[in-house]
C-alpha cells in the first residue's frame, strides 16, 4: 500500500526548508570498516532497528528570498525500485524541475546526483545552476583516479558523474573555499567521504540548520562510533576525522542538523557522551 507523499516542511527563520524522501536502500555490514558484522548487528538491534541496515535517502528544498534551491537530486532510475522517488515527491509539494533555480550538490555519488539526468543523459533541471565543489569535478574527471578502482565503481561513480557533468557543462558553478552560494546558505567543505564533499549551513535570524550531506550513512552505528568508515569513502581516515569534528561542532553548539541518510525527515540534534555521541530526532511538528 502506498504511503502519503514523503514531504516535511520546516522553517529556519524566514527560510523554508522542505525535506523530501528519494527512498531507501537496504545494505549489508560489508560496507562498514572498523567494525565487525556482529558488532554492527548488536548496535542495530539495541536501537530496535532493522538488521542489516536500511539507509534512508533524503533531499532538501530551500526557499529563500523568492528563489528555490534543491540540495541533492536523488538516484533517478539507477538504483532500483526502492529509490528514485524524489520527483514524485517534488510534484506532491507543487514544485517542478523548472522551478529550481539552483541545485546544490554535497558530492557526486549516485544516490545524490544521478537524478540530475534521465537514463539517456538529458537534463532534468534545465533552468538550474549547478553548485558543486571544484574538487568533485576534478576527481570524477580524473582518468588516473578512475583506473585505481574496480570496473563497478568506474561505471557507478566515475562514468555516471561524467555523464552528468557533460549534460550541465554550461550551467556548472564550481566553488573552492566555501562562502554563500544561495541566499542564507553557506557552503562548508567537509572532505573525506569524497574530495569535494560539502555541507550547507542555512541561517536566517537566530536560526541555523546544517545539512551535512554524508557525514553519516548508518546513524545508529557511526554517530556513537565516528571511527567507523565505509568502503566507498575516498579517504577513510580523513572522513572519520571530519565526522568527529562535525559531531563535536554540532553537539557543542546545539545546532539543528539535517542529513541525507538520517531517518526521514532527517532533522535532529546531536549530544556528546564522553568520546561518543547520540542523535535525537526532532519531534514531528504537525503545524507549519
pLDDT digits (tens, 9 = 90+) for 190-227: 999 999 999 999 999 999 999 999 999 999 999 999 99
Return the pLDDT at 3: 81
HSE of 104, CA atoms in CB hemisphere, 13 A = 29
Report pLDDT digits (tens) over 155-199: 999 999 999 999 999 999 999 988 999 999 999 999 999 999 999
Q: What is the number of helices (H) and of strands (E) in the chain? A: 9, 16
Over its C-alpha atoms, the chain yields an Rg (Å, rounded) of 18
**Per-residue pLDDT averaged across 1-8, rounded?**
83
7-281 belongs to CATH 3.60.15.10: yes
**Banded model confidence at residue 1, pLDDT cuts 50, 70, 90:** low
CB-neighbour burial class of residue 80 (10 A; exposed 0-12, middle 13-18, buried 19+): exposed
Return the pLDDT at 2: 72
| Average pLDDT of the chain to the nearest whole number | 96
Residue 249 cell numbers, joined:
561542532
Residues 6+ apart with CB under 8 A from 209: 10, 12, 17, 201, 202, 203, 255, 256, 257, 258, 267
Task: Give the total residue count for the chain.
Answer: 288
**Banded model confidence at residue 102, pLDDT cuts 50, 70, 90:** very high
Write down the domain spans for the chain: 7-281
Closest by CA position to 150, among listed 76, 80, 217, 232: 232
C-alpha–C-alpha distance, residues 197 and 193, integer Å: 6
What is the model's pTM?
Answer: 0.96
**Per-residue pLDDT averaged across 48-75, rounded?**
96
C-alpha–C-alpha distance, residues 120 and 109, integer Å: 18
Residue 126 has pLDDT above 90, yes or no: yes
Give CA angle at 244 (258, 206), nearest 5°: 40
Amino acid at each position: 500500500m502506498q504511503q502519503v507523499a514523503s514531504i516535511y516542511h520546516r522553517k529556519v527563520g524566514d527560510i523554508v526548508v522542505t525535506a523530501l524522501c528519494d527512498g531507501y536502500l537496504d545494505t549489508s555490514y560489508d560496507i562498514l570498516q572498523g567494525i565487525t558484522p556482529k558488532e554492527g548487528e548488536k548496535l542495530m538491534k539495541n536501537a530496535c532497528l532493522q538488521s542489516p541496515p536500511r539507509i534512508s535517502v533524503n533531499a532538501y528544498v530551500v526557499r529563500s528570498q523568492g528563489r528555490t534551491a534543491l540540495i541533492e537530486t536523488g538516484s533517478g532510475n539507477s538504483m532500483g525500485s526502492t529509490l528514485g522517488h524524489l520527483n514524485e515527491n517534488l510534484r506532491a509539494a507543487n514544485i517542478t524541475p523548472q522551478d529550481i533555480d539552483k541545485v546544490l550538490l554535497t558530492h557526486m555519488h549516485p544516490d545524490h546526483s544521478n537524478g540530475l539526468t534521465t537514463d539517456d543523459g538529458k537534463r532534468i533541471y534545465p533552468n538550474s545552476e549547478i553548485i558543486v565543489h571544484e574538487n568533485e569535478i576534478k576527481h570524477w574527471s580524473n582518468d588516473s583516479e578512475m583506473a585505481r578502482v574496480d570496473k563497478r565503481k568506474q561505471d557507478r561513480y566515475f562514468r555516471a558523474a561524467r555523464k552528468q557533468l557533460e549534460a550541465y557543462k554550461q550551467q556548472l558553478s564550481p566553488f573552492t573555499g566555501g562562502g554563500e552560494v544561495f541566499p542564507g546558505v553557506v557552503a562548508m567543505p567537509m572532505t573525506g567521504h569524497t574530495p569535494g564533499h560539502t555541507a550547507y549551513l542555512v541561517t536566517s535570524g537566530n536560526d541555523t540548520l546544517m545539512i551535512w550531506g554524508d557525514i553519516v550513512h548508518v546513524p545508529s552505528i557511526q554517530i556513537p562510533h565516528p571511527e567507523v568508515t565505509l568502503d566507498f569513502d575516498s579517504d577513510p581516515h580523513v572522513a572519520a576525522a571530519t565526522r568527529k569534528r562535525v559531531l563535536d561542532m554540532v553537539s557543542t553548539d546545539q545546532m539543528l542538523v539535517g542529513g541525507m541518510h538520517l531517518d526521514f525527515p532527517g532533522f535532529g540534534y546531536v549530544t556528546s557522551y564522553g568520546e561518543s555521541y547520540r542523535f535525537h530526532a526532532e519531534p514531528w511538528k504537525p503545524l507549519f
